[in-house]
């Protein structure tokens, strides 16, 4: 990590250096804390998230067995049947219990990743301030030192994620509410299209364009608050103060920050879809194993095969989220004029 000082100082001397280039350089030089924190998040996601999903399967096991018996009885009686006809409501109830738990795990891990990357960027700045003075330079930023630096900020970072989620949920639920009103035929002059009645202009405007516009507002809020964790690490502020500061900073260069945020989001989305595609190979072997251990129970196997690619992608996604966290921290530093609380260590090295 000793080369971080040259990277940051050269960028400070060249005002035209891109934030993306700076983030890539810090990610490359600091790959130990950046990807180490990502691997740690992936392991936690695998163990905790996998345990939650396994618990959901265990709680639903009787429902899958009953679905198989119902289907076999209908087939033997030469009757038509609907998959999970009598088990659907119970399976939905289990899912409604699992999703909030998985969301909580996701927020904890995102808070950790964003905090860790903001600390990594701050560490790189410390190296730049220390310059060639070996006595003032901080020690190597290993995972243990990274956790010590992240620990004072982690609780506030988690509160930032909670508050951001609440803000984003408002337009998300509003868009869904519009679709529910259309489904219930409570919007005058707008009818949900059927096989015989194609979509009208009114339905396209209200049922397709309007929800997207409302959901886009949620994306705007997410972008405006995306620097809050980095602000907390730099300024040691409260969650609400960090979010206000993030809103102010992103408002000074809206097109620029929107472009950076969309670029990072696009990169994460591409990685997610690639990982999801790779997860289909894992799903294939997991499905074969499930069939062999459940005497060809296609009902539980089908659900497993559907969720496995997404689960694989989510477990490995921290490897893409970590560099985006570096990008957001660098963006905060650029918009804030390179300011922030840089604490040069005294005494024993951090590593």
Residues in contact with 348: Cβ distance below 8 Å, sequence separation at least 6, in sequence order: none
Give me the pLDDT at residue 87, please.
Answer: 85
Please tell me the pTM assigned to this model: 0.85
Can you give the pLDDT at residue 138?
58
Tell me the H-state helices in 131-226. Answer: 143-183, 201-203, 210-224
Share of the chain above pLDDT 90, in %: 55
CA distance 346 to 93: 55
Q: What is the mean pLDDT of the chain?
A: 85
pLDDT of 342 higher than 50: no
Contact 160, 167 (CB under 8 A): no
Q: Give the integer Cα–Cα distance in Å for 147 and 135.
A: 23
Summarised one tens digit per residue, pLDDT across range 234-279 is 999 999 999 999 999 999 888 888 889 999 999 999 999 999 999 9
> What does the alpha-carbon distance between residue 323 and residue 67 come to, in Å, rounded to a whole number?
44
| CB 228 within 8 Å of CB 160 | yes
C-alpha span between 183 and 95 (Å, rounded) = 23
In sign, the C-alpha dihedral spanning 152, 155, 271, 247 is: negative
Residue 18, helix vs strand vs coil:
coil
Tens of pLDDT, residues 37-95: 999 999 999 999 999 999 999 999 988 888 888 888 888 887 777 778 888 888 889 98
- 280 close to 309: Cβ distance less than 8 angstroms: yes
Note whether 344 and 129 are within 8 A (CB).
yes
pLDDT tens digit sequence for 37-53? 999 999 999 999 999 99
Kindly report the CA angle at 137 between 134 and 140, in degrees rounded to 5?
A: 110
CA dist., res. 237 & res. 153, Å (int): 9
User: Is the CB of residue 1 less than 8 Å from the CB of residue 31?
Assistant: no
Asked if 112 and 37 touch (Cβ cutoff 8 Å), the reply is yes
Cβ atoms of residues 143 and 40 within 8 Å:
yes
């Amino acid at each position: 990590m000793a080369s971080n000082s040259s990277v940051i100082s050269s960028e400070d001397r060249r005002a035209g250096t891109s934030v993306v280039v700076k983030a890539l350089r810090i990610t490359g030089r600091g790959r130990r804390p950046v990807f180490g924190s990502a691997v740690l998040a992936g392991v936690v996601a695998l163990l905790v998230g996998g345990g939650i999903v396994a618990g959901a399967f265990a709680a639903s096991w009787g429902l899958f067995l009953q679905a198989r018996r119902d289907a076999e009885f209908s087939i033997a009686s030469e009757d038509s049947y609907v998959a999970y006809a009598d088990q659907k409501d119970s399976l939905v109830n289990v899912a409604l219990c699992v999703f909030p738990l998985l969301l909580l795990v996701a927020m904890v891990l995102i808070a950790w990743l964003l905090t860790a990357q903001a600390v990594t960027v701050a560490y790189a700045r410390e190296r730049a301030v220390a310059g060639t003075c070996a006595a003032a330079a901080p020690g190597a930023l290993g995972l243990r030192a990274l956790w010590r630096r992240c620990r004072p900020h982690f609780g506030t970072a988690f509160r930032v994620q909670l508050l951001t989620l609440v803000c984003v949920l408002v337009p998300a639920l509003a868009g869904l509410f519009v679709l529910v009103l259309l489904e219930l035929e409570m919007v005058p002059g707008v009818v949900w299209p059927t096989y015989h009645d194609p979509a009208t202009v009114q339905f396209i405007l209200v049922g397709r364009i309007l929800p997207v516009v409302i959901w886009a507002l949620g994306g705007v809020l997410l972008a405006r608050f995306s620097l809050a964790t980095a602000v907390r690490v730099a300024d040691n502020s409260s969650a609400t103060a960090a979010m206000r500061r993030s809103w102010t900073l992103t408002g000074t260069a809206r097109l620029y920050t929107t472009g950076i945020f969309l670029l990072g989001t696009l990169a994460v989305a591409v990685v997610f879809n690639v990982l999801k595609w790779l997860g289909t190979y894992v799903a294939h072997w997991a499905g074969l194993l499930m069939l062999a251990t459940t005497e060809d129970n296609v009902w539980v196997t089908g659900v497993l095969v559907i969720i496995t690619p997404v689960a694989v992608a989510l477990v490995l996604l921290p490897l893409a989220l970590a560099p985006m966290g570096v990008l957001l921290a660098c963006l905060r530093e650029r918009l804030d004029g390179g300011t922030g609380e840089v604490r040069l260590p005294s005494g024993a090295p951090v590593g």
